[in-house]
């Protein structure tokens, strides 16, 4: 048992434990930066989206079916993760930069939020140039809601997104629920269907604006003949 009295034995043991812990941490960090543990999105159907109940954000709110947003001219719709988030404000500003082109195409730009906290929606409006509605049941964030918890803060992509938005002059706060991931939809009128469905995979995962415009240009105007079909 003389090895128990040898200080180098304990030094080697502690070194081995430390190396193992570092290796485990490195592996965890590596896996956290892959898509292995990311929540997999379930594609929405047109019928699912059509039946969603939305509310206006007026003093006396009105409830209506979401299909009213796109049934005549189609629509681009942002499901906002959190209005006070500076990453969401950045994406809202990016989408709003498309509004002149969307107006030329006759396609409206909308957003939905999952809650109305203090003045968060009002403070979000300078970044978003379209109407905003409330989705209390969070249906636009489904059919299966996906969350990113604290794993998001060890993802290099998220930190890059933080830096990009901060460098762009965007700021925000921590008000409201921000773990349920959002997305962007381009939906055609009538039964043309969902032309683009972008699901945020991590904080700050923005939709490709070129893809949004390409999808918007595929929208076919609704005619009285097609309405009867």
Q: Which residues are catalytic?
A: 85, 88
Closest to 108 measured CA to CA, from 72, 135, 66: 72
The residue to which tokens 């812990």 are assigned: 21
- Distance of alpha carbon 47 from its chain centroid, rounded? 21
* CA pair distance 229, 142, nearest whole angstrom: 28
Is the Cα torsion angle 153, 158, 164, 169 positive or negative in sign? negative
**End-to-end Cα, the chain, rounded Å:** 89
Q: Which residues of 57-96 are buried (b: 16+ CB within 10 A; e: fewer)?
A: eeeeeeeeebbebbbeebbbbbbbbbbbbbbbbbbbbbbb
């Amino acid at each position: 048992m003389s090895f128990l009295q040898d200080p180098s034995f304990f030094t080697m043991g502690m070194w081995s434990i430390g190396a193992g812990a570092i290796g485990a941490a490195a592996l965890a960090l590596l896996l956290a930066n892959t898509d292995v543990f990311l929540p997999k999105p379930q594609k929405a159907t047109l019928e699912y989206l059509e039946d969603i109940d939305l509310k206006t954000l007026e003093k006396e709110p009105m409830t209506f079916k979401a299909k009213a947003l796109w049934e005549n001219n189609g629509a681009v719709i942002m499901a906002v993760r959190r209005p006070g988030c500076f990453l969401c404000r950045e994406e809202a500003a990016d989408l709003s930069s498309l509004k002149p082109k969307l107006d030329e195409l006759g396609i409206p730009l909308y957003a939905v939020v999952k809650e109305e906290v203090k003045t968060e929606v009002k403070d979000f409006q300078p970044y978003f140039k379209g109407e905003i509605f409330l989705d209390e049941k969070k249906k636009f964030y489904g059919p299966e809601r996906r969350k990113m918890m604290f794993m998001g803060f060890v993802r290099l992509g998220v930190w890059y997104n933080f830096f990009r938005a901060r460098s762009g002059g965007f700021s925000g706060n921590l008000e409201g629920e921000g773990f349920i991931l959002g997305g962007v939809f381009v939906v055609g009128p009538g039964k043309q269907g969902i032309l683009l469905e972008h699901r945020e995979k991590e904080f700050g995962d923005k939709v490709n604006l070129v893809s949004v415009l390409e999808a918007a240009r595929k929208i076919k105007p609704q005619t009285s003949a097609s309405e009867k079909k």
